Each structure stands twice: as C-alpha cells, then as structure tokens.
Chain A
Amino acid sequence: MERARESMAEESPFAAELARRGVSRREFLHFCGVVATVLALPRSAIAKIAAAIESGEKPTLVWLEFQDCAGNTESFLRAGRPTAADIVLDLLSVDYHETIMAAAGHRAEQALARVVEEKRGAYLAIVEGSIPTGAGGAYCTIGGRSALEIAREVCGGAAATIAIGTCASFGGIPAAAPNPTGALSVADAVPGLRTLIHLPACPANGENLAALVVHYLTYGRWPALDSLRRPLFAYGKSIHDGCERRGHYDAGQYVEQWGDPAHRKGYCLYKMGCKGPVTYQNCPAIGWNQGTNWPIGCGHPCVGCAEPNFWDRMTPFYAHLAGIPGFGVHSNLDRIGLGATAGVAAAFAAQGLLKIAQRRAVHGARRHEEPAGPPAGGEGGES
C-alpha cells in the first residue's frame, strides 16, 4: 500500500506537487469529496474530479476589474478548504489580475494582449465590477482604454466569461439609482456572449468560484444555471429555506429589538428586515471563511446581496414588510411557511418598484441611465 502510493507519487507530477505541499492523497480526495458535496454530486463523482484535477493542463484565466471594490478578489483569496483552495489556484494560469500580478503598466497590458491573441477561444475570463458607459467611457479606463472596449475584446475572445459579484452580474452598486455613470452588467455591456455565468453576491463566496471551476474541469461543461444564469448548486435554494433560524420563523419567534433576549437567543430576524426569504444563495449551507460563520449567524439580517437590483429593491434594509400571510401564527406550519414566502416575494417586488419610483422623483433629470426596476426574478434591468 505504502509502496503503491510512492510509485504513484513518482509517476504523477501532480501527486508530487501535493506531497510538496504537505497534502496527503487522503486529504486531496477529501477535498474532492467536499467539492462534490458543494456541487451536490454523487460520491462516484469524486474520482472523476480527482482525475480531472490531476490531468495537469493549466487553463489560462484572466481576471478583469472595472467599477469594483476588489471585494470578490479578496473573497477568492479567502477561499477555504485551506491547502486545497491553493491547489485550485494552481490549476489555472492566472495571466492577468491587477491586484496580484507582479508586472505593471505596459508589461501588464502585454500579458493581457498575449492571452487574447494567442489563446483566442480557449481562455476563461472573469469580470469583477460593472462597466460604465457614460462620459464616452472615461468613468473607467485602464492603460488609457475604456472598460467597455477592454470587456468587448477580452470577453469576446474567451471560451467563457464568469461575472463575479453583483456588480458584474447585475450592475450592482454603481448601477443603483440614479446610476450616475451609466453602469452596466457584463450581459448588458457585451451582449451576445456565448457562455456567461453569473456568480452574484456582494461579494461572491470564493468557495463557489472554486466549485464552479472544478465542475468545468471535471465535466468539460458548465453546471446547470437558473434563469439569472446562476449555478443551481450555489443559488438553487433561498436563504430562508436553509436558514438555521427557520424554525423560529415558523414558530413565530422574532427579534423585536437589537440586543433583546430574542436576539441573544438567535430568533428569526425577519422583523428586523431580513431579506432571506427572497434571496437565493448557499450561505447557510457552506458559511463564510471556512464555514466559520455567516451574516444571520452573527445576528444581522440578510440584505439580499445576491439578487438583481438589491440596492434599490431590498432597501431600506431594516424595513420589514407588513401584511405577510401567516406571520407569527404557530399552527399549520408548512402551509403558512410556504404562503408567507410567496407573499414576501410579491411584497418585496412591489416595494422595489415603489422605491425606484420614489428615487426617480428625487433624482429627476440628473440620471444618466435608470434602472428599469424589474419585478423579482427579472434580469437585465440595469440598463
């Protein structure tokens, strides 16, 4: 057994690399198992994932930052499963990423141009941040070129584009009313991309990006997406449905005031403004920072950061909605829970429209571009 492992290590450069990193074969397979779990795959997939990772070829990735805060970059650097996330980083050749790359100026631009020229149709592009269209593109330039020009060229030549974070996916905070810079999502700024995947949230959870990449490497195709182009493995369930406090919601046990006994006991934050019922993401399932915690776990409501237009539709963040059917009733829990969620979604959608209408009145003609304010589940309203 021991000998078999050694000979494997000799044959496979990947296994040797694992050994150098102090990662045992068992730990590596455990990582693959964790990935399979995140992706909701059968155990039989673990061997396939391992084989895909070991096959060795490092696909090229370029990571573009436009109207961003680097929060998604930081989130990716926090991606957990400690040594294993490093392995995922090493799976790819990250040839352009302004926040981490050593080269600057012309030499950085050369690195990007080389990928676009030499790897056309074969590289992956990640976009972080929205893309402004106002002032002839002058609201975001890199090397003297507008974000729009760069995005068209780089995403247009990519095998696939991943929009990471809510800004790239849906326009995000720069596109919030009154959208002073005419900021657009990738989908709206560069229409017609062959393969575009959204990983929204503010920021996206780094683990979901890792899982997405491994899925691609394992199966040679991308995972199933919902109508907002979000992978079902990470966005297939509402926060509310997976929430550890769901029992308190169903039982009518709510926090009424910050720091009250109910807050200390971990009761439901619905009345404090929680947007978990209308937000789809796997926070409760995988947590943040190696599963250490998550926002509701630390006592603050969900702000709905993975949803389109959340800066307009989910605000005020601390306002809860009145008139929700089944609110605070203990009996017939399943039916009431379901009805309440549907009611909440409708009410949130209505509130979103109301807030946008209010803000239009406020900002009047100053606006460059105005969010159309689609109902819940709508897409592409950022332009």
Chain B
Amino acid sequence: MTHVVVDPVTRIEGHLRIEAEVEEGAVRDAWSSSTMFRGIEIILRGRDPRDAWVFTQRICGVCTTVHAIASIRAVENAIGATPPTNARLLRNLIMASQMVHDHVVHFYHLHALDWVDLVNALSADPEATSKLAQSISTWPKSSASYFSETKKRLEQFVQRGQLGPFANAYWGHPAYRLPPEANLLAVSHYLEALDWQRDFARIHAVLGGKNPHLQSFLVGGMATPVDLDSQAAINAGSIAQMRQLVAGARDFVTRVYLPDLLAIASFYPEWTGYGKGVGSYLVYGEYPDADGANAPLFLPSGVIRDGNLGAVLDFDPSRVSEYVTHSWYEYAGGDGVGLHPFEGETKPNYTGPQPPYERLHTDGKYSWLKSPRYDGRPMEVGPLSRMLVAYARGHARVRELVDATLAKLGVGPAALFSTLGRVAARGIETQVLVEKLDDWLDQLADNMGRGELAIHDNSKWDPSTWPADATGAGFHEAPRGALGHWVHIRDGAIANYQCVVPSTWNAGPRDAGGQRGPYEEALLGTPVADPEQPLEILRTVHSFDPCMACGVHVVDGRRRELARVRAA
C-alpha cells in the first residue's frame, strides 16, 4: 500500500489536496481536501444586500459571473423584485457565454495536458498531422506548413532549455496514448484556444464592462442600458459585435473543440470505465425562457438517483443539507447531523496538523469544504448531471448530440458514467449553448426594435420597500454545476448568507455516515502506473473541473443584532 499525496493539484482554480491509498496499481481509497478558507459569508453580515453580488462574485475569478447571478437572484427572491425581459436576456447571454468560455478553457488549458504529451508532439510528422486534422474537421488552419511552424516553435521553445510552466511534468508517462500527430494537433489548438478565449471574453466586456469580474449586475435587473439611439447603451452596433463574437465561438466549438474531444477520447476508450463516482446527479436547471418565477428553463432541473435515467425526480430545495463531520467546523448540536442552509451554522474549528505537515488526519476532520447531501445522499453536479437530466427529460438537441457522440465513440450509454463521460458531456453542453446564444440575441434585438427599453425593476430598489424580515434563495447552473445562495435579510441588512457551491458538492469530504464525496468515490479503482507520477489521479479529478475557492464557504448561524445599513 502506497500513500500518495497530490498537493498542490494544479491546473484548477484554488487549493486542492488529494490523498490516496494505492495498491496493486489502483486507488483503493481517497480523501479530497480543500486547504484555503476566506470566510466571505462572515464578511457579508451586516452589509447592504444590494452589494452582496460584488462580494460573492469574488469567490471565484474563473467562473466570474456565477456567484453574482446567484446572489442577485437570492436577494430578488427575498425582496420580491422581478427583472424585466431585457435583463433576463442579458443575463442569459452572460451566463451562457461564461459557460462556453469556461468549458473551452477547461478542455485545452486545464485538462488537455493530462491526455496530451507535449514533448511527444516533437516527433510528429506535419504532413500526417495535416491529414489527421483534415480528416476530423474543416477548420482551415490545417496545412502541413501550419503544423510545421507550430512544431518548429515548440522545438525552439524546448531547445532554449526554459520549459517554464511545462517543466517537470509527466511527459513520456506510459498512460499517454496519443500518437505524435494527435499530440501536435492538440498543442496547436492549445495555443489557438489561448487566443480565442481572449477574444471571446470581449462579449463580457460588451455586456458587463470587463472580464474577469463583470460589473453590470443589479438586484432587480441589469445596469446595461439598451437603446438603439444611444452610443452609451447596447445598440445595433453592440448586437452586431456580439453576433460576430458568437459566430466565432460557434465556429471554434464546432470545428475545433468537439472534433478534438472526439479524436482524443477515441484513444482512451478504457477511461469510460473509470471514474464513475457516486452515480447520483443533481441539477437546478438554467436559462429561463420567460419572465418571473417558475419560468420554463432551457436546461431542465431534476434529480437522478443511482444512475436511473428512467425516473428523474423533481428538485426539492428543502432536501439539501450540509454535514461538517469531516470538515474543519463544528455544529452546536453536534457534528453528526446535517443542517439545511437556512438553519446553517458553522464555526471554524481547525483540528488538522499544524503546517508544515506531511499527512492530514483523514480519520477526523480533513477539509475546509463541508459535505452537502440531498436526501442524505452525495450527489454529483456539473455538465454530466445537466446533460443526463436533459437527456432523460427529452431535450431534443441534447439527445441528438449525446446519441451521436456515443455512436461515434462506439460505446453505450453506460459509458457516460465515467471520467471520459464528464469530458464528453462538457463538450456537448458547450455545443448546445453556443448554438442557443443567437436566439437570445434575436429576442433582445426584437425587444429593442419594439422600443422596450426596461432593464430594471425600480419598484424594489429602495430598502424602505422591503419587508423587515425576509429570506430568499437564488439558484443557478454554474459551469461546474448546481449553485445555491441563501440569504436572510433583516432591517435592510444581511443577517445570514450561505452558499452551497458545485465544488462543495463534488469535492466535499465524507459525511457523518462515512459516505465519500464524488471526487473520493470517483477515484476508487483509478489506475496509477507510477505513484510518483499520479497522472491518472489528475485525469479523474480534472474531469470534474475543480474550483476550490468556490467550494469553501462558511456561515454563522448565530443570530445577533445587526446594524441597519444606511443607504442613500
């Protein structure tokens, strides 16, 4: 038995540590630990709820829109504000473009190097690479001379002797299985995606002033005026600019990302058999297609238990609870119970080893993440969950793409419940959303053409219009999965604020009953050829797209008198 520690887990957002027991070339047990804590929910107490989105947005600079969205929805739910149609459409555009941007960056810049051997690309024949590229896509940058240039550049980079971020990695590891030509193709697209992501993020500058940390959200609507006759508002020119950016994104996703994904996956069929995880999936749903509460959602909500796609259950927020049995917090009523977020209660209680340390006390508390459970069960959230629920609920485009992907890879539906299934689901979701963006742009343009210019529900902006005591919940599907914010507002100020976050669901530790979290469960059985080079562990963990800063949160359930916020 070998004890493997991977810390830091790199190519993620935030600070994640994996400890694993490896025996006979495979993971026998695993522990997932988040090693950073800030306490943003404590910092929110006593503040103006209309400011909360700016604070929660800083939970994460990668998924830079998601905590802002969940926050304004939670506060709107509490005070009864209703964003007008234009605000809903602007938000849909922001959310979906974030998803597309995030997924592409994850595939190329965070995940690809687990499958792609950069150094092996130096052995590639540019002619053969060109043939491979042209056999899988019509993307125009596919000539032998193009790949020859990339290869030359790579050679010079390596020859200079300063490998920078690519130094000391696992090049040559036996688990790398792509032929040199596929490696060179992927490296070329790694570089192209770096340029593409920079360009596509400009859609967020149009809609939100800047990226990262867009600055156009408002409780009750959006701060981005729409007016065809103004140069200081979204006008016909901005719509055209966004159409251009969306067209570029659609082209890149359709002709580069998806073909690359399928090509790479085809060399790793065994990874449809690893990384299954807990097998239960939770989705809140996203992209309202109408205004107001209970609007139909473009991607539906639902709960799948034990892989049963035949019986999707409705999501019921009251069934969410969080445990701290193995988390560095304590509950007043004992650490063996789970608490609903509205009853949430947390007091940091670090019982781990004092740094510097070699091993965590995995029998006791070992993470800054709590353990969220639904009906007492661990649930996986994220693209795979969303695509499974959409598939089971009969979403036509999702069904078409999932079936086509399975057919191309020559595998059955069971292959979805795996490390590679997560990678494929993320790509399918990107395709579905990049196709949808134009619809929302059309609707926005139509509204503007009709002279509908409202962007904000002003009736609830003044805190004097709010109830003295109000609670609200805001749900969102972030790139990494189901995200919920719960807020309690008293006398115009935040009395309690809680976030239950995708990476908490996925990366959380064991609960009171000893049930592992999804990362921990998914790692069981993952092969490890060389414990000194745990490349395979990275594959499964990265397939979830960890976002650790998001995952760590703390709430303080103790009630106390709060200063009234003095707003203008």
Contact = CB atoms under 8 A, between A and B. Distances in A.
Interface of A: 13, 17, 20-21, 58, 60, 65-75, 77-80, 82-83, 85-86, 92-95, 97-111, 132, 135-146, 149, 172-174, 176-181, 183, 202-203, 257-259, 263-266, 273, 287-290, 292-300, 303, 311, 315-320, 322, 358-359, 361-363, 366
A259 B225 contact: yes
A317 B350 CA distance: 34
A107 B11 contact: no
A259 B453 contact: yes
Contacts of A178: 42-43
A109 B231 CA distance: 51
B232 A177 contact: no
B320 interface: no
Interface string B338-356: 0000000000101011111
Contacts of B38: 67, 132, 139, 173-174, 180-181, 183
Interface stretch (B46-54, B383-391, B413-421, B469-477): B46-54
Interface string B191-232: 000110111011011111111110111101101111100111
Contact of B47 (A107, A263, A316): A316
Interface in B433-459: 453-456, 458
Contacts of B213: 71, 202-203
Contact of B538 (A58, A70, A99, A104): A104
A152 to B, nearest CB: 13
B43 A258 contact: no
User: What range describes how many residues of B lie at the interface?
Assistant: 35 or more
A299 B232 contact: yes
B551 interface: no
B5 interface: yes
B210 A295 contact: yes
A17 B168 contact: no
15 contacts: A65-B15, A70-B61, A71-B64, A74-B64, A100-B109, A137-B355, A142-B35, A172-B58, A259-B454, A264-B230, A292-B205, A292-B206, A298-B208, A311-B43, A319-B566
Contact of B212 (A173, A203, A273): A203
A94 B165 CA distance: 6
Nearest to A135: B350
A69 B59 contact: yes
A13 B156 contact: yes
Contacts of A181: 37-39
A76 B454 CA distance: 35
B231 A266 contact: yes
Given A103-B168, A105-B9, 11 more contacts: A13-B156, A69-B62, A71-B60, A74-B211, A104-B6, A104-B10, A144-B357, A149-B355, A259-B454, A294-B209, A298-B209
Given A70-B13, A288-B209, A98 B8 contact: yes
Interface string B521-563: 0000000000011100010000000000100001010001011
A138 B61 contact: no
Given A71-B64, A77-B197, A98-B10, A317 B209 contact: no
B166 interface: yes
A126 to B, nearest CB: 13
Interface in B1-35: 5-15, 35
Contacts of B223: 258, 298-300
B209 A295 contact: yes
A359 B60 CA distance: 25
A105 B7 contact: yes
